[in-house]
Amino acid sequence: MSFSSTTLDARRAVITGMGVVSPLGVGKAAFWRGLQSQRSLARELTLFDTREFKAKHATWIEGWQPREWIAPHRLKRMDRFAQFTCVAGHLAVQDAGLALSPEMPNPRAGISLGSALGGYAYAESQHTAYLERGLKGLHPALGVQGFGGSAQGNLAIEFGLQGPGTTNANTCAAGNAALGDALRLIQYGSADVVLAGAAETPLSPVVFAAFDNLNTMSRYGAYRPYHRDRDGFIMGEGAALFVVESLAHARQRGARIYAEIIGYGLTNDAYHMSSPEPSGRALQSAMRLALEDAGTNAEAIDYINAHASGTPANDPNELQHIAAVFGDHAKRIPISGVKPFLGHTLGAAGAL
């Protein structure tokens, strides 16, 4: 079977728009300036009482105002998780110069999202309201607000996206998996455009306590991946969405192209719920699968944005298995992570 160049272009996935909601700022320009400042935004958590906790620091967005992008009647039915997603979506679509609207539903435009917790924090706050005031304390729309797919549904409504829609809960890898799934949707010809990325709003007492009990968060408020004195991560919130479209579709409308997604690998450790598997077989396999999928080799890679969680167990494990895959070339590849500036945004981390 032979394929024309036009057919091949329809199976190549490119990024044409980016939207970011983060403690560093809202929008890609503010986000980039924040990264360039090389300043950590970690500070003592004041959103709830932390006296019982060993960890007491986080990063979050002060004075969140989504009304610039979302109509008031829509905001009433969205929790913070869905709001972050939709605002990041608006920014990405605007950045891409793409015409998507609920007035003109598009069956060739889809969604691929990720989030570890979805609306868990909002549901927790509603449970508190229920204990205090009973049924009258609950938001009338709670039934469609607190579940993991609520952001996907709201995003679809916001832009008339009638193509394929998925939301994965692959914990810290959710954003990466969302982009990988978007690549597959384009490669399989299931969509011409996919809004892909991840969002997380985890800052609630129970969520914070759960990770505090795991001893994975810094007690000293210093996020120091790969440092000898590292003692865990600092929790944060945020969202990042991308417009992923077929190269053919992007060229047809004269879109600016930031990058091409050319390879993706996904595996499971099948070992432990929070500790990395020592041999790294699955981790190494994911990297090799991504290289193979891209039709390239380790020597072609010139930068690695690492997980860099800052925990005593993860950091050496990650570097050990990067070295196993990249060999001597690993010594020449810059490796860094942005979590010290953002905080660890859990399911949104990969996308951010």
Catalytic: 344? yes
Q: Which of 172, 227, 249, 321 is catalytic?
A: 172
Give the Cα separation of 84 and 17 in Å (integer). Answer: 16
DSSP 147: S
Element of type H or E holding 250: helix 247-252
Give the Cα separation of 41 and 38 in Å (integer). Answer: 10
Q: Which of 57, 90, 249, 307 is catalytic?
A: 307
3 state SS of 232: coil
Beta strand 43-44 with 57-59 is antiparallel
Which residues are bridge partners to 239 per DSSP? 21, 199
> 1 exposed, middle or buried (CB, 10 Å; 0-12, 13-18, 19+)?
exposed
3 state SS of 4: coil
How many other C-beta atoms lie within 10 A of the C-beta of residue 211? 19
Give the Cα separation of 151 and 142 in Å (integer). Answer: 13
How many other C-beta atoms lie within 10 A of the C-beta of residue 203? 20
3 state SS of 34: helix
- Please tell me the number of Cα atoms within 13 Å of 204 on its side-chain side: 19
Catalytic: 172? yes
* Residue in this structure with the two tokens 């719920």, named with its chain if needed: 273
Give the Cα separation of 301 and 183 in Å (integer). Answer: 19
Give the Cα separation of 173 and 346 in Å (integer). Answer: 8
Is residue 168 within 8 Å of residue 347, measured between CB atoms?
no
- Report, as residue numbers or ranges, the catalytic residues: 172, 307, 344
